[in-house]
Structure 1
């Protein structure tokens, strides 16, 4: 698509009949497979590369056995290593969930009820939908300027903190306040990175702690979708386990449905943002060059994050 065209304001987007939720399918084109990743033009990527000042590279990926215990019924994989012959050592993973640790939620991950997946695609995602797999993202990568909003540091400065096991809601207004406090401006095509410190807190829970029924996250309301769309970000990366607060509120709706299925905004979960957040705080620079190479899994619904920050 010609992404140089003017992006409509959220309020001007059409609404899904019966759900009254805004969607971008006609703006990007019904056959589009990239959604807001279209904003990542070669010009923007070249500009973002200039953010590399001293060559520091920071991994944004948790070990693939984290978080532990696993979440949402995803059991830990079995890692088997073995001799192939007298000189060759090999290995395999059995029962591995690509979305169990640092991950991207792809467009086949979530649908808008009977209205379908991104672009209005309906049918069985395994046998009837033959596009919008994670392999589409893998072929081009996700590369650009990232802007970190350190929500946890902002809240700590005001006597609060993001809990590990409560339905703590982070509003769109809070995101705007954090951006203002850090002095950052969100620009078209930015990869928005939101830190809450959740993975580190989860790893510090006492051994034998039970499973969690409540999780912190972004507000799933229309205002959150409006702010994120009107910021013109290309992707949303968080260290949260579900991006949005759990359990969801049926009266408010699902943020995955609003962002992933209807607006075409890729979602990242459980990214490791601790080291890069410290670096940003120390330098006072909350922008960096971001790269991710999603797993080239044909037809996949998601992928490990496989992401780096370069400063």
Structure 2
């Protein structure tokens, strides 16, 4: 039980309240100056790697029908497209040529970060026997994460003022800067290009084979090869082939979830879609949870998830040099109220 003003009960296995009653950073609190210095110490060669896909990949809307490629268009100047626009002082005197554009971006279309406002659950945080929609650390739907329609008891109630995530938005992550030591786990080398659902035993086997250890405060990257398959499709994704490709985590594996808890990792990143197997494997233990690893990380622990990163060039370099740690610099956009963001991440060795 708790005296927190937002909740009396916290979910089993969660860390709600451990970083303070109003905490919005979760495990990023473990990304301390000392951890940043550990990341800096991994820079031996001064070689940076871009860890993001081009923002117009995967292409089309086949990987997720609700997310679409970005659309670029010129801004308008005097009602005309502001691209290669001549600015003249007089009709005869050419001063400058101006180009200016705008983008409509689905923030979680390509390489991305999930905020804690991305996935919550129905949970009896009040202890009154009735579940309500809540997010990490007890922040509430309709009070702190506000959309244009409120779904309540089967009704749809319009909300004329819908600012998005007034708490737990991605801007909190951006303000933290997200820089520190990261660890690469190379699942592709051990499990190949076919779809393999990786649980605790398989993960430990790969880590042990490569001598990889994860310490508190580390960010963990999982190289599966999925983003390489995406790139090979040249923005014409074959959804059926992608569903059969590359390793993904078993979000139903309780020992795997417990390892995420015990390791005290601060972020879990993969080059695949959703980090975990989606749809989740069938089970009778938790049939209502369709994204069990998302719920465990985003809802219970305050662990940010990174998805569809481009990890192979860095992973290959690390393997060739018998290394697995590097400096990761990966802030999201500082966009108040957003529940996700593109990640233009950089790994430096």
Instruction: Give the equivalent residue in structure 2 for 1:64.
Output: 55
Larger-gyration structure (1/2): 2
Give 1:248 shift.
Answer: 2.0
Q: Which residue of 1 aligns with 2:119?
A: 110
Counterpart in the other structure of 2:102: 92
C-alpha displacement at 1:218, in angstroms? 0.8
Give distance in 2, aligned partners of 1:111 and 1:77. Answer: 27
Task: Compute the displacement of 1:85 (Å).
Answer: 3.9
Alignment: residue pair count? 285
User: Aligned equivalents of 2:69 and 2:305: distance in 1?
Assistant: 22
Say which of 184, 198, 208 aligns to 2:212: 184
Cα offset, 1:15, TM superposition: 6.3
1:293 match: 331
**What does 1:152-171 align with in structure 2 at a 5 Å threshold?**
152-155=188-191, 161-163=192-194, 166=195, 168-171=196-199
Paired position in structure 2 for 1:219: 250
Relative to 1, partners in 2 of residues 1:84 and 1:133: Cα closer, same or farther, differing over 3 Å? farther
Residue 63 of structure 1 deviates from its aligned partner by: 0.2
1:268-298 Cα deviation digits (max 9, x unpaired): 0001001101101110001001001210000
Aligned-partner SS, 1:26: coil
- Larger helix fraction of residues: 1
Q: Name the counterpart of 1:243.
A: 275
Question: Quick one: distance in 2 between partners of 1:210 and 1:200?
Answer: 13
The equivalent of 2:150 in structure 1 is none
Q: Which runs of 5+ in 1 are unaligned?
A: 1-13, 156-160
Contact 2:136 2:299 in 1 (8 A): yes
Residues 129 and 281 of structure 1, relative CA distance in 2, 3 Å threshold: closer
Match of 1:50 among 41, 44, 48: 41
Alignment counterpart, residue 204 of structure 1, candidates 232, 237, 245: 232
Q: C-alpha separation between the residues in 1 aligned to 2:37 and 2:248?
A: 32
The residue that corresponds to 1:75 in the other structure is: 68
Residue 4 of structure 1: aligned partner: none
* CA distance in structure 1 between the partners assigned to 2:173 and 2:237 by the alignment: 37
Partner of 1:136: 172
1:210 shift after superposition: 5.0
Deviation per CA, 1:184-228: give whole Å up to 9, x if none: 211110000000000112333598665349465211122221111
Shift of 1:69: 3.2
Q: Could you state the TM-score of these two structures normalised by the residue count of structure 2?
A: 0.76
Distance 1:208 1:299 in 2: 32
**Structure 2 Cα separation of the partners of residues 210 and 34 of structure 1:** 36
For residues 134 and 84 of structure 1, do their structure 2 counterparts lie closer, same or farther at Cα, with a shift above 3 Å needed? farther
User: In structure 2, what is the Cα distance between the partners aligned to 1:35 and 1:302?
Assistant: 16
Mapped partners of 1:84, 1:22: distance in 2: 58
Q: Are the counterparts in 1 of residues 178 and 330 from structure 2 also a CA contact under 8 Å?
A: yes
Residue 259 of structure 1 is matched in structure 2 by 297
Q: Deviations over 1:134-160 (max 9, x none)?
A: 1011112111111000001122xxxxx
- Normalized per residue, which structure has more strand? 2
CA distance in 1 between partners of 2:237 and 2:120 (Å): 33
